[in-house]
């Protein structure tokens, strides 16, 4: 299992090669392309964008897994949607009768997401995009910035392990998932993709009613290193899911994780993460 840091180093090298060749041809670092049937506006100096350009998508194995999990007519939540790298592929899968509701707090990524949505008018009709920070309580204070950019460069302001850059949340609203879904009149949730770099516990604490009523499948990354400042939050995240009647399994192997925080920690390499599926026991196999 490669650490996030090593993945970034590999992407950095490949990006330099591609940008050098493009530079020799007089081509810019920004480009509009079509990948896997979806149109994208990409900055090849950014890690997420570069993955879409080179591989056809960001986290392609996860995108392929969605095809087994998301059905026509489903209501899907993309929490931590960034530039829409999963929002748009999910919108393809929900079909004309489904909906993807996306949440991204930073102005940088949300603006890019809106551009990518606009480039795909058919899929745009299936997406409800919100510049919003989801927390445990709507009375909490909005962080001034969160990580939403992974530039393929060396700079002092990047995170020491995942190499992300903090970006402003200016323009974002703060709410709980339970409250915003009530506001939107959402009457079911089938699937949740949750990727918020250490804020997962806060999101789920504000989604207790949603989990209890709809029991959606939840795909998320377990990455203990992003909880370095508050390691107890990682433990509480797992406990919240288990106590809520969820089983957690490794997406790659399908193996059910032991219901023991310490054992789960030992299964994840230092500086790395594990994509997992949390599935309610009462809805398993639906």
Sorted by where each starts, the structural domains of the chain and their CATH numbers stand as 56-278 (3.40.50.150)
Classify 3 as helix, strand or coil: coil
Helix and strand numbers (H, E) in the chain are: 11, 13
DSSP letter at 33 equals E
Q: What is the mean pLDDT of each run of 10 residues along the chain (286 residues)?
A: 72 92 96 98 96 96 95 98 98 98 98 98 98 96 92 82 88 98 98 95 98 97 90 96 96 93 93 93 63
Joined together, the tokens standing for residue 260 give 């023991």
pTM: 0.94
Q: Which contiguous run of DSSP H or E holds residue 92?
A: helix 87-94
Residues with Cβ < 8 Å from 229, sequence gap 6 or more? none
What phi and psi values does residue 2 have, to the nearest 5 degrees?
Answer: -70, 140
Whole-number pLDDT of residue 284? 57
C-alpha dist (Å) from residue 40 to 52, 58, 88, 173, 266: 8, 12, 10, 26, 38
Whole-number pLDDT of residue 166? 93
Whole-number pLDDT of residue 7? 79
């Amino acid at each position: 299992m490669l650490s996030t840091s090593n993945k970034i180093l590999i992407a950095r090298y490949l990006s330099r090669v591609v940008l050098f060749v493009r530079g020799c041809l007089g081509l810019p670092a920004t480009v509009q392309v079509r990948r896997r049937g979806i149109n994208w506006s990409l900055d090849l100096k950014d890690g997420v964008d570069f993955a879409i350009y080179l591989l056809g998508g960001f986290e392609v194995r996860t995108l392929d897994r969605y095809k087994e999990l998301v059905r026509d007519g489903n209501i899907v939540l993309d929490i931590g949607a960034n530039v829409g790298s999963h929002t748009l592929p999910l919108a393809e899968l929900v079909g004309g009768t489904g909906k993807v509701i996306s949440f991204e707090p930073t102005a940088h990524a949300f603006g890019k997401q809106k551009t990518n949505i606009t480039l795909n008018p058919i899929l745009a009709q299936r997406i409800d995009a919100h510049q919003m920070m989801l927390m445990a309580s709507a009375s909490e204070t909005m962080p001034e910035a969160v990580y939403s950019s992974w530039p393929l460069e060396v700079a002092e302001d990047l995170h020491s392990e995942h190499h992300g850059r903090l970006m402003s949340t200016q323009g974002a609203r703060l709410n709980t998932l339970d409250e915003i879904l009530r506001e939107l009149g959402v009457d079911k949730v089938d699937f949740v993709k949750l990727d918020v770099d250490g804020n997962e516990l806060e999101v789920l604490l504000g989604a207790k009613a949603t989990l209890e009523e709809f029991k959606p499948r939840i795909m998320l990354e377990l990455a203990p290193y992003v909880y370095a400042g508050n390691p107890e939050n990682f433990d509480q995240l797992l406990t919240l899911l288990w106590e809520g009647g969820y089983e957690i399994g490794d997406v790659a192997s399908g193996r059910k994780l032991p219901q023991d925080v310490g054992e789960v920690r030992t299964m994840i390499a230092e500086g790395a993460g594990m994509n997992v599926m949390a599935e309610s026991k009462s809805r398993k196999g639906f």
